């Protein structure tokens, strides 16, 4: 297992998990001056825990922040798909035609780069999207097999990192809002927090850990995933309120926590923007590297012959 640990594990799992754990611990450090131990054993436990939490975050991140983006017609599509539309300026017309020719000869897939992008009500919309996605995955597989996918993998690692940090920051935002609300010592608010936290945990157990999500339709599964994500946000909000009881006793302390919530929200927006940018750069790198690799391979074969 250690031998297979690579930069993707660090970027994708450890750093987002470590970030979320840091946000959870931060209020206790500020108000109780209780910081993590510097002992080696405690550090190792923190590393393992951060790695596990990171896997958990990425599972939720794929639901909260999908890689699809709205195209000019409002369709939700992958960048690797709508980059090939005729009017999209990301690639030149000559490059798209060359890519389409290479993909057609290599995989027998028509990318249909000369045709205007289909709308959802067009019966060919799903077919075109599926073809381009299949071609993209096949092209990426070739680059990995030939061990020339380092550059695209760096972008993949970065967009995975940004997506994980964005999700952790948003959970931190809900958590700090809960801490801020603890300035109110109203018993009814505490009872509401306990009730909603219990409900959220029940939803998490039912939707996230039981196999029910594998036995329903895709539409129902998507609804269950969104519900479980909302349950996690509610759990962070309520747990923040309950943890803050007895610690937040003044307006200045509540203002500090509100500031932390604002910073977390700003970080979420920044990480989310970076995630979208790196996801697009990943798609560009795969298409460009595949065309470059194919052209070089053809020239080498011609030289040998």
* Tens digit of each residue's pLDDT (9 = 90 or more) over 77-107: 899 998 998 888 999 999 999 999 999 999 9
At residue 3, the pLDDT reads 44
Round to whole Å and give the CA distance between 305 and 284.
32
Round to whole Å and give the CA distance between 206 and 11.
30
At residue 33, the pLDDT reads 77
At residue 2, the pLDDT reads 41
As a dihedral over the C-alpha atoms of residue 254, residue 257, residue 262, residue 263, rounded to 10 degrees, the angle is 150
For residues 238 and 174, the answer to whether their CB atoms sit within 8 Å is: no
pTM of the model: 0.85
DSSP track, the chain: --TT--HHHIIIIIHHHHHHHHHHHHHHHHHH------SHHHHHHHHHHHHHHHHHHHHHHHHHS-S-EE-TTS-EE-HHHHTTSTT--SS-HHHHHHHHHHHHHHH-----TTSPPPPTTSTTHHHHHHHHHHHHHHHHHHHHHTT--HHHHHHHHHHHHHHHHHHHHHHHHHHHHHHHHTT---HHHHHHHHHHHHHHHHHHIIIIISGGGGSS-HHHHHHHHHHHHHHHHHHHHHHHHHHHTTT--SHHHHHHHHHHHHHHHHHHHHHHHHHHHHHHHHHHHHHHHHHHHHHHHHHHHHHH-
User: Hey, where are the domains in the chain?
Assistant: 7-64+146-304
Given a cut of 50, the residues of the chain with pLDDT beneath it are 1-3, 300-305
* Tens digit of each residue's pLDDT (9 = 90 or more) over 284-296: 999 999 998 887 7
CA distances, 19 to each of 50, 55, 129, 202 (Å): 8, 13, 36, 26
């Amino acid at each position: 297992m250690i031998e297979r640990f690579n930069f993707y594990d660090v970027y994708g799992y450890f750093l987002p998990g470590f970030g979320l754990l840091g946000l959870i611990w931060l209020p206790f450090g500020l108000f109780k001056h209780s910081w993590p131990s510097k002992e080696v054993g405690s550090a190792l436990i923190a590393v393992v825990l951060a790695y596990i939490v990171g896997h958990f975050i990425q599972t939720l991140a794929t639901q909260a922040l999908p890689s699809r983006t709205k195209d000019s017609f409002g369709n939700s599509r992958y960048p690797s798909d709508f980059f090939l539309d005729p009017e999209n300026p990301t690639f030149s017309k000559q490059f798209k035609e060359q890519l389409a020719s290479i993909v057609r000869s290599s995989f027998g897939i028509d990318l249909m780069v000369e045709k205007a992008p289909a709308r959802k009500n067009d019966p060919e919309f799903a077919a075109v999207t599926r073809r381009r996605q299949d071609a993209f995955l096949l092209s990426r597989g070739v680059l990995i097999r030939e061990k020339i996918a380092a550059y695209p993998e760096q972008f993949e690692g970065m967009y995975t990192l940004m997506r994980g940090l964005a999700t952790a920051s948003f959970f931190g935002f809900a958590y700090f809002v809960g801490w801020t609300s603890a300035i109110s010592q109203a018993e009814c608010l505490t009872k509401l927090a306990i009730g909603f936290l219990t409900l959220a945990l029940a939803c998490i157990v039912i939707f996230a850990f039981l196999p029910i999500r594998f036995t329903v339709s895709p539409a129902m599964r998507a609804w269950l995933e969104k519900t479980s994500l909302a349950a996690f946000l509610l759990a962070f909000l309520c747990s923040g309120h309950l943890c803050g009881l007895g610690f937040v006793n003044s307006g200045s302390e509540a203002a500090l926590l509100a500031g932390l919530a604002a910073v977390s929200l700003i970080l979420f927006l920044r990480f989310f923007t970076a995630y979208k940018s790196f996801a697009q750069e990943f798609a560009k790198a795969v298409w460009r590297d595949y065309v470059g690799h194919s052209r070089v391979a053809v020239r080498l074969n011609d030289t040998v012959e």
